Amino acid sequence: MNKQLDFRISSGLKNIIGKELITNDRIAIFELVKNSYDANAKLVRIVFQDIKDTGKGGSSRILIIDDGDGMSHDDLVKKWLFVGYSEKKDDEKEPARKSFRDKIKNKRVFAGAKGVGRFSCDRLGTKLKLYTRKEGEKGIHFLDVNWQKFEEDQEKEFQTIKINYSTMAKVEIEDYPVKEFKNGTILEISSLNDKWDAGKLLELRKYLQRLINPSSIEEQEFKIYLEAREFLENDKKVKKEEDFNLINGPVKNIVFEKLGIKTTELKSSITGGKVRTELIDKGKSIFVIEERSEYPGLDNITVNLFYLSQAAKNTFTRVMGVEPKNYGSIFLYKNKFRIHPYGDEGDDWLGLEKRKGQGYARYLANRELMGRIELHGPQPGFEEVSSRDGGVLKTQEFQHLQDYFIEKILRRLEKYVVEGIDWDKEDAEKQKSPEEIKRDSLELIQKLAGQVKDPEKNIQFNSDLLTILKDKQIENLPQVIKNIESLNKYVKAPEQKAYIEKQLKSVRLATRNLEIEKGEKEEELKAKERESLFLTKVVSTDKEIITSLNHTIENSTKTIKEIVIDINKKIHADRPISEIAPFVDELSIENEKIMILANIVGMANFKTKVELIKKDVVLYVKEYLERIVKAEIMKFRFSNEGIEHVVEFRPLEISIVLDNLISNAKKAGATTMAIKFKMLNKKLHIHVSDNGKGVDNKMLNKLFKRGETTTNGSGIGLHHIKTIIEKMGGEVKFVGNDVEDLGKGACFEVILP
């Protein structure tokens, strides 16, 4: 005998699709917020009341209030109480209905797909009161659900457990008056299952920040507001710059681009069978590659990927209050809502950590990257699964997405940041110059263009990169020209093509001319030595030098006289020593000028009456120490003295700085001083060290203060140095004692702009 049998559904199903499917409280709230979004809400409020009272029978509650479409009686019966029903799936099956929805109001693509989001309420608490109303309806529909009834007896069938329904004129929630409720839904969840404290609420806020893709949500389109009045006093203590520690207030959608972090970004998209990839360096477009897509099933996809240098990581942590590694890496969004758990800390859904572990040591992985992949439209190849692990089905499209990310996005970013440019190194000495970056950018674009299989590919790149052709060394010009010629084949824009041709023509002509001049210039450079600032000793009665000396001494004498008058005024006015001391400093500096002038004026190859000169300061330091101070006073050892740094400076000020350093070294028992020059970020760094006894650790915090001495002197020498160098726009600092390769005594660093 054949007959048909029916499935029976146990009331225990509630736990399977509720508590056991939805793994934690944050995901439960996430699912309920998605329901509000699908209902066209503009605002959803998540309210926590008395959450410190979570004991059995306590008054703790969670309210989720939205201003969406709301539900009618039929909606409650045919949709909300229909287990497993998803309006999204119906919408996708009825294109005509979808078109109608688009024409009237709903411009959103549904975020919920599984039809089980309503059971998130069970995860949060054992009791639920649901208030809902559609616009224009007179009454408010009310459901009263006790989830524990489904757990009393698993022999009972799911559909036999009754839910209390009624209508009411207004919403009545204890201690939370709702004045106007024209449309929307309110969920009142009580008898909470878990405790909530300040830490858990802050975690929820950070989780909700990543819930919606911020790049595609307009400011007024959908807002989430978190409210927990028990913690308002805590919020008042939070500093303005640490607003990420606020519990109450709107949940701000975080867009990486708006955090003020300047780094390297790669944008990519697949639309209509075309892949477009753009690389942006600190806000400036470097190149764009357009090519045919190699990934069937992928369409309406956009990607934003950011490289996190150490500086970018530090800025992110300061702004967000959490380290990037603890925030997440590369998130996946489908129709504006995040798909969990992709991008979570420790989640390696793109296989980046595995790839780095198996391959080249300098591959980029999750700790160096942050970004988002956005899926737009229906996307049938990325269907979310109903499981406690979350995610999407592992389809062919999912595999293609992973391949697309690695090949077209990550590899190109790696080539630029790691292989090609390498400018973001923390060691400034190893950073490439802007000219090197431009040159290597052109070479990189040429390499990438060669790897693109599509013969119809289109290459665009920043015209500013071509300015390197004007300044590039002649021996590298042919290779640069070759790279540009190769790239020009794939440039489609007529104006850019014409610009490149014009530049190439000019450079070819310049190259021929430079080849002719090259030999002549090399001979000229070899024959011409660097101009000496100090010539051989001249006759002391030379009229011009005597006139210059008298002029300068006269100026300094006048200044000294004026300073003495000011000091006397201060003394007679019984002013404190703090007001007099600066005048004494100036007096001492002017006196030093006169003493130094007497030594250098007879050998100076510059007019001493012209205080500001534009010369090579490295050469001045070396020749002053060798020719004016001389070896009888102190022996000098130089490093990197071939560096040239031509700037405007006052010779007397540099001489005073050097004399004071020498004086301190002698008092410390030194017989030799080491001077090392180094260029760093267009600034001249001069390390001056000696073989004396060094600086006592007790004096480190007082080194540059007036009257503090490390050598039993007057205590104004280092103060003078600091005053002069800072006036020049530079800085001076104590590096330490016994600095490697520089001497066992004290080492100071002078930095000149």
Q: Is a pLDDT exceeding 60 seen at residue 472? A: no
Dihedral sign from CA coordinates of 363, 298, 453, 480: negative
* Tokens (6 digits) for 14: 């509630």
Q: What is the structure's pLDDT at 215?
A: 59
Extract the runs of DSSP E, i.e. beta strands, from 576-656. Answer: 613-616, 635-639, 646-649
pLDDT band at 631 (very low <50, low <70, confident <90, very high): low
> What pLDDT score was predicted for residue 627?
74
Peptide bond into 651 cis (omega under 30): no
Instruction: Please give the residue that has the higher pLDDT: either 29 or 478.
Output: 29
Residue in the block written with tokens 């020009």: 488
Answer for the pair 269, 289: CB distance below 8 angstroms, yes or no.
no
Q: Which residues contact 166 (CB under 8 A, 6 or more apart)?
A: 142, 144
What pLDDT is recorded for position 231?
A: 92
Kindly state the average pLDDT of the residues 71-75.
93
> One-letter amino acid identity for 383?
E
Least confident of 410-424, 464-478, 541-555, 666-680: 541-555
Question: Phi and psi at residue 198, in whole multiples of 5°?
Answer: -60, -40
Lowest mean pLDDT among 371-380, 462-471, 602-611, 619-628: 602-611
Q: What is the DSSP letter of 624?
A: I
pLDDT digits (tens, 9 = 90+) for 515-569: 665 555 555 554 444 555 554 443 333 444 444 444 445 555 656 657 667 776 7
Q: What percent of the chain has pLDDT over 70?
A: 69
**Residue 483 pLDDT grade (very low, low, confident, very high; cuts 50, 70, 90):** low
Lowest mean pLDDT among 71-85, 125-139, 347-361: 347-361
In order of 226, 286, 420, 478, 655, the CA distances from 554 in angstroms are: 74, 59, 59, 59, 19
Given a cut of 70, whether residue 439 has pLDDT beyond it is no
CA dist list (Å): 571 to 559, 578, 584:
19, 12, 12
The pLDDT of residue 684 is above 80: yes
**Residues making up the chain, counted from first to last:** 753
**Among residues 209, 197, 210, 190, which one has the least CA distance to residue 333?**
210
Taking the CA atoms of residue 528, residue 533, residue 539 and residue 544 in that order, the dihedral angle to the nearest 10 degrees is 110
- Name the residue among 616, 618, 657, 617 with its Cα closest to residue 641: 618
pLDDT on residue 281: 82
CA distance 514 to 506: 12
**Residue 457 has what pLDDT?**
80
Q: Three-state DSSP class for 610?
A: coil
- Torsion-angle region of residue 647: left (phi > 0), alpha (psi -120 to 50) or beta? beta
d(CA 286, CA 256): 20
Q: Cβ-count burial of 373 within 10 angstroms (0-12 exposed, 13-18 middle, 19+ buried)?
A: buried
Assess whether pLDDT exceeds 60 at residue 709. no
Q: What is the pLDDT of residues 187-224, one digit of tens each?
A: 999 999 888 999 999 989 888 887 766 555 444 578 89
At 597, is the pLDDT very low, low, confident or very high (cuts 50, 70, 90)?
low
Give the range with max mean pLDDT: 172-186, 208-222, 652-666, 730-744.
172-186
Average confidence score pLDDT of the chain: 77
Report d(CA 514, CA 521) in Å as an integer: 10
Q: Which residue has the higher pLDDT, 395 or 469?
A: 395
The answer, yes or no, to whether residue 480 has pLDDT greater than 70, is no
- Span 39-50, average pLDDT: 93
pLDDT mean over 129-150: 93
Alpha carbons within 13 A on the beta-carbon side of 121: 23
Instruction: Determine phi and psi for 738, rounding to 5 degrees.
Output: 55, 55
Instruction: Give every strand in the sheet of 301-307, ordered side by side.
Output: 337-338, 330-334, 369-375, 301-307, 264-271, 274-281, 284-292, 458-461
Residue 643: which residues within 8 A CB-CB, separation 6 or more? Answer: 618, 677, 678, 679, 684
Which SS3 state, helix, strand or coil, does residue 750 take? strand
Mean pLDDT across the stretch 365-394? 84
pLDDT of 474: 46
Residues 6+ positions from 447 with CB-CB distance below 8 Å? 415, 420
Cβ neighbours around 387 below 10 Å, total: 10
Tell me what the mean pLDDT of segment 95-118 comes to.
Answer: 47
Average pLDDT over residues 260-280: 89
pLDDT of residue 548: 41
Choose the weakest-confidence range: 75-79, 165-169, 470-474.
470-474
Strands of 223-227's sheet in order across: 164-168, 140-146, 125-133, 184-192, 61-66, 43-49, 223-227, 249-250
Q: What is the pLDDT of residue 232?
A: 92
237-255 residue pLDDT tens: 888 777 888 999 998 766 6
- Cα torsion angle, 735, 740, 741, 745, sign: positive
Using CA atoms, how far apart are residues 444 and 446, in angstroms rounded to an integer? 5
- The answer to whether residues 145 and 130 touch, using CB atoms and an 8 Å cutoff, is yes
Phi-psi region of 187 (alpha: psi -120 to 50; beta: other; left: phi over 0): beta
Reported confidence tier of residue 2, pLDDT bands at 50, 70, 90 = confident
Q: Which amino acid is at 44?
A: V
Residue 747 exposure: Cα atoms within 13 Å on the Cβ side? 16
The per-residue pLDDT for range 554-585, each reduced to its tens digit, is 555 656 657 667 776 777 777 776 676 666 66
- Residue 113 identity (one-letter amino acid): A
- The pLDDT confidence band at residue 142, using thresholds 50, 70 and 90, is very high
Which residue has 């400011």 as its token pair? 219
Average pLDDT over residues 623-648: 81
* pLDDT band per the 50, 70, 90 thresholds, residue 99: very low
Burial category of 335 from C-beta neighbours within 10 Å (exposed 0-12, middle 13-18, buried 19 and up)? buried
